């Protein structure tokens, strides 16, 4: 038997509801034949809402049963992500790794060490952007586990800027004497904080590493972010020491 659904969505000369388009696409993906009814004016849309006692459109009906809006339809088909997920961090690390590869190739330094250096530095920059896009939300989530931020709240606002500037400096190797210690400091504090919260206190928290209001669980991912910063900072400081020790003729 063919599956049929009826959708009412707003389509006017000045506005096409994006949720309506997503609703049609989702239904077709699920094998439904869709009867697409357009609400072509604000008056017609308001009358529909009043008739069916709903606050939004689109609205989907299957077997004469009103399913609801786009979010309700996703839940009906089991497409809603519930609980924690690693998808955001997987997407970020996959992208930054490819960026590191392409950058290393472009500058003629395509080797394992340089790719790892660029991968860590670019990842720091991208993760800092995730935090800075909603600094207030990040600070609230960060305060739930970071030990220094709990003692000095302003640190929760400073942290993303330090991470970003350290990452930018590490890409070019500029101001290593400043950027490396800064990354070492925030990475060490972060690693200790995460380890205490997750492995000692056994708390179930969400990680602020990809910004506030994320569903990434606090634990291995956040610990990895901090350990990457520590390793990169130590590597750069050792490299700087080795360079000056072998080029000093005084």
pLDDT reported for residue 250 = 52
pLDDT for res 2 = 67
Say if CB 203 and CB 231 are below 8 A apart: no
Residues 88-92: contacts with CB under 8 Å, at least 24 apart = 88/130, 88/210, 88/214, 88/215, 88/216, 89/209, 89/210, 89/216, 89/221, 92/123, 92/126, 92/127, 92/130, 92/210
Residue where the block lists tokens 């659904």: 5
Residue 244 has pLDDT above 70, yes or no: no
The model's confidence at residue 170, banded by pLDDT at 50, 70 and 90, is confident
Segment 131-154, tens digit of pLDDT: 999 999 999 989 989 999 999 999
pLDDT digits (tens, 9 = 90+) for 68-85: 999 999 999 988 767 667
Distance CA 80, CA 59 (A): 18
What is the reported pLDDT for 239?
79
Q: Is residue 114 within 8 Å of residue 232, measured between CB atoms?
A: no
Q: How far is CA 177 from CA 113, 140, 182, 216, in A?
A: 20, 31, 9, 33
| Bridge partners, 217 (sequence order) | 206
Q: Please indicate, yes or no, whether the overall pTM of this predicted structure exceeds 0.95.
A: no
């Amino acid at each position: 038997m063919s599956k049929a659904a009826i959708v009412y969505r707003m389509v006017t000369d000045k506005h096409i509801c994006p949720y309506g388009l997503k609703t049609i696409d989702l239904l077709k993906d699920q094998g439904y034949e869709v009867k697409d009814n357009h609400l072509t004016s604000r008056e017609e849309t308001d009358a529909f809402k009043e008739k069916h006692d709903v606050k939004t459109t689109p609205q989907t009906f299957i077997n004469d049963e009103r399913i609801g809006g786009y979010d309700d339809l996703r839940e009906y088909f089991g497409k809603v992500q519930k609980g924690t997920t690693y998808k955001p961090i997987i997407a970020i690390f996959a992208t930054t790794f490819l960026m590191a590869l392409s950058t290393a190739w472009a500058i003629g330094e395509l080797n394992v060490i340089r790719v790892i250096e660029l991968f860590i530095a670019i990842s720091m920059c991208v993760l800092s952007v995730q935090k800075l896009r909603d600094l207030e939300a990040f600070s609230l989530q960060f305060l739930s586990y970071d030990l220094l931020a709990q003692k000095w709240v302003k640190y929760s606002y400073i942290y993303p800027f330090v991470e970003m500037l350290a990452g930018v400096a590490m890409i070019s190797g500029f101001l290593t004497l400043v950027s490396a210690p800064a990354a070492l400091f925030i990475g060490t504090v972060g690693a200790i904080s995460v380890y205490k919260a997750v492995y000692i206190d056994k708390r179930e928290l969400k990680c602020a590493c990809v910004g506030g209001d994320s569903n990434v669980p606090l634990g291995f991912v956040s610990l990895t972010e901090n350990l990457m910063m520590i390793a990169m900072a130590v590597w750069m400081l050792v490299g700087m020491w080795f360079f000056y020790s072998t080029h000093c003729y005084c």
